[in-house]
A and B are shown apart, each in its own frame.
Chain A
Amino acid sequence: AQTVTQSQPEMSVQEAETVTLSCTYDTSESDYYLFWYKQPPSRQMILVIRQEAYKQQNATENRFSVNFQKAAKSFSLKISDSQLGDAAMYFCAYKEDSGYALNFGKGTSLLVTP
């Protein structure tokens, strides 16, 4: 079974600064998808960014970008110019190419300070 590990239970960043959240995963598959989800206090799960394993180029979405290292099975999320609204739980997730179930890590709680 694939496992997703987020080694940072909590992270803190000052407004306007940059923070990187770590994620590693274990799989024997070559084709798969990786995701970062944001869960604010409202509990809504919001997709932040998605990466296809067959793409070498790192995905970016505005202030959010990833560092995807396939050989190292690492998938970190970088948040630039952090805003107060970025404070939330962030979950890394894995999905097999032909599968449908998402495997989530335990999450990283991000605190943004003024």
Chain B
Amino acid sequence: NAGVMQNPRHLVRRRGQEARLRCSPMKGHSHVYWYRQLPEEGLKFMVYLQKENIIDESGMPKERFSAEFPKEGPSILRIQQVVRGDSAAYFCASSPPQRSYRDGGYTFGSGTRLTVV
């Protein structure tokens, strides 16, 4: 059981470039959640996805950010035209299809640290 796998672990992008962050949930988990951790802050919810569906993206910035979780393959968080303020750690969590998230049955990955220079 490999846990939630996020890659890359570190990502450096120049202002204006695109960042693509990947998350492979735990085996048997079909629900994925993305969180962002700004420096000196706690994690903030961004988006909740199930396979091929965005359930709740209320925490996503309105522009430049998008997320997907295709039928096959990892979930992708995409940030277009990155700016310095996007520098943060981005975490992915997953949970099984039944509502075990009800009791907080999440497993977190180790995050991707994005640095925009």
Chain A: which residue is nearest B101 at the CB level? A100
* Distance (whole angstroms) from the CB of B41 to the closest CB of chain A: 6
Answer whether residue A52 sits at the interface, using C-beta atoms and an 8 A cutoff.
yes
Complex: how many Å from CA A43 to CA B111?
A: 7
Complex: how many Å from CA A53 to CA B102?
A: 13
Complex: how many Å from CA A46 to CA B33?
A: 16
The size of the chain B interface, using a CB distance under 8 A, is: 26
Answer whether residue A33 sits at the interface, using C-beta atoms and an 8 A cutoff.
yes
A91 and B43 in contact (CB under 8 A), knowing A42-B110, A44-B108, A45-B108? yes
Inside 8 A of A105's CB, which chain B residues have their CB?
42
Beta-carbon contacts under 8 Å, A31-47 to B: 33, 35, 37, 42-47
Which residues of B approach A to under 8 Å, CB–CB?
31, 33, 35, 40-45, 48, 56, 59, 89, 91, 93, 95, 101-104, 106, 108-111, 113
Which residues of A approach B to under 8 Å, CB–CB?
4, 33, 35, 37, 42-47, 50, 52, 91, 93, 95, 97-98, 100-107
